[in-house]
């Protein structure tokens, strides 16, 4: 249940921002992966997958201790986000001979950030890697995801594996959610061509004058539920209607304001069944992140702490030998205030 947007500021800054929802905690940390870092992909049959060395340093949030980026950016201002794609993902076929070119679905984000500087480079290079269904041992399932890619020029690309084929789509609106496939969501927007940022004029029916009940009547009927199609429509409406930011800092704050509308409290979206331990499975917003693709900064807040925190990629040694980590944990701090005499 993740929602992603892209914003641009008048100073040229591009911001990639998203929420991340799951029913269980991913135990994410912010990781800084240096240039030259070596990785080996995971295959369905246990053979070593593709081995590569990072051309570019990157920063972002990981999950489950895997030390690959779920959402983040690299030193060239290329950003990648992995989004859940249940019931729709159909990965590439795999044979043992494919092992030297194979990475697991959860590794593809870091594979992209390690090697490419722009959306055009990703388009040219994505076809040379094999991404099959691979068992994620931590959850004992084949993780179904698809991918959004943005670059510092503002270009956006969607990468999906559907019906055992690679499908890529330009994404001029920069919005992304979950299932079904991206092209379906774009077609579905045609159901909302009546939406307007301007309030409606009163309607005269004979002698009866019907005036809107309040502000926002131009988007009367906007879907408000948590399903991916509804969130996609709202994300387009809000990201396209917000006044342009003057600066990157303002665009980051705008992104968090927009994504406030997609913050899911624990318990509002739950499964009908319980897990093996009797726990209620309820998706909620574990963290929200926003990446400044010019300043090369990763911002985040969590379910437990709504304070926006920032980690600057360029403030670290990008040629180090190991991945660096920054904790995302911490409790909300409520500041007491004291009244002053008038």
Host H or E run for residue 71:
strand 71-74
**Residues forming a β-bridge with 167:** 160
Q: CB under 8 Å to 33, separation ≥6 — which residues?
A: 54, 57, 58, 59, 67, 69, 110, 113, 114, 323
DSSP alpha helices (H): ranges in 260-315? none
Residue 167 per-residue DSSP state: E
How far from the centroid of its chain's Cα atoms is residue 139's Cα? 21
**Residues forming a β-bridge with 147:** 82, 159
Q: Burial code of 257-278, b = ≥16 C-beta within 10 A, e = fewer?
A: ebbeebbbeeeebeeeeeeeee
Q: How far apart are CA 305 and CA 302, in angstroms?
A: 5
Residue positions annotated with a catalytic role? 2
Residue 28 per-residue DSSP state: -
Which residue in 28, 11, 5 sits closest to 295, CA to CA? 11
């Amino acid at each position: 249940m993740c929602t992603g947007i892209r914003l641009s500021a008048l100073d040229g800054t591009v911001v990639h921002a998203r929420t991340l929802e799951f029913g269980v905690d991913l135990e994410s940390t912010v990781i800084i992966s240096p240039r030259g870092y070596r990785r080996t992909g995971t295959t369905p049959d246990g053979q070593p997958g593709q081995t590569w060395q990072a051309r570019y340093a990157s920063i972002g949030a990981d999950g489950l201790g895997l030390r690959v980026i779920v959402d983040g950016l690299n030193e060239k201002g290329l950003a990648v986000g992995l989004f859940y794609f249940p019931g729709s993902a159909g990965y590439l076929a795999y044979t043992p001979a494919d092992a030297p070119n194979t990475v697991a679905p959860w590794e593809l984000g870091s594979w992209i950030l390690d090697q490419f500087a722009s959306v055009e480079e990703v388009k040219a290079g994505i076809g040379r890697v094999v991404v099959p269904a691979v068992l994620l041992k931590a959850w004992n399932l084949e993780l179904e995801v698809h991918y959004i890619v943005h670059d510092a020029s503002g270009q956006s690309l969607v990468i999906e594996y559907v019906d055992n084929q690679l499908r890529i789509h330009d994404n001029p609106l920069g919005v992304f959610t979950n299932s079904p496939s991206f092209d379906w969501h774009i077609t579905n927007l045609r159901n909302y061509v009546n939406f307007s940022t301007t309030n409606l004029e009163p309607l005269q029916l004979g002698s009866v004058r019907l005036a809107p009940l309040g502000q926002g009547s131009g988007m009367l009927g906007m879907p408000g539920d948590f399903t991916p199609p509804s969130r996609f429509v709202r994300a387009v409406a809000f990201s396209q209607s917000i006044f342009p930011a003057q600066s990157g800092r303002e665009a980051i704050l705008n992104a968090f304001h927009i994504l406030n509308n997609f913050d899911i409290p624990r318990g509002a979206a739950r499964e009908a069944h319980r897990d093996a331990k009797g726990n209620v499975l309820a998706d909620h917003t574990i963290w929200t992140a926003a990446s400044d693709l010019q300043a090369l900064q990763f911002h985040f807040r969590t379910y437990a702490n709504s304070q926006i925190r920032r980690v600057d990629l360029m403030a670290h040694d990008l040629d180090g030998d190991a991945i660096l980590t920054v904790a995302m944990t911490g409790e909300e701090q409520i500041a007491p205030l004291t009244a002053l005499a008038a």
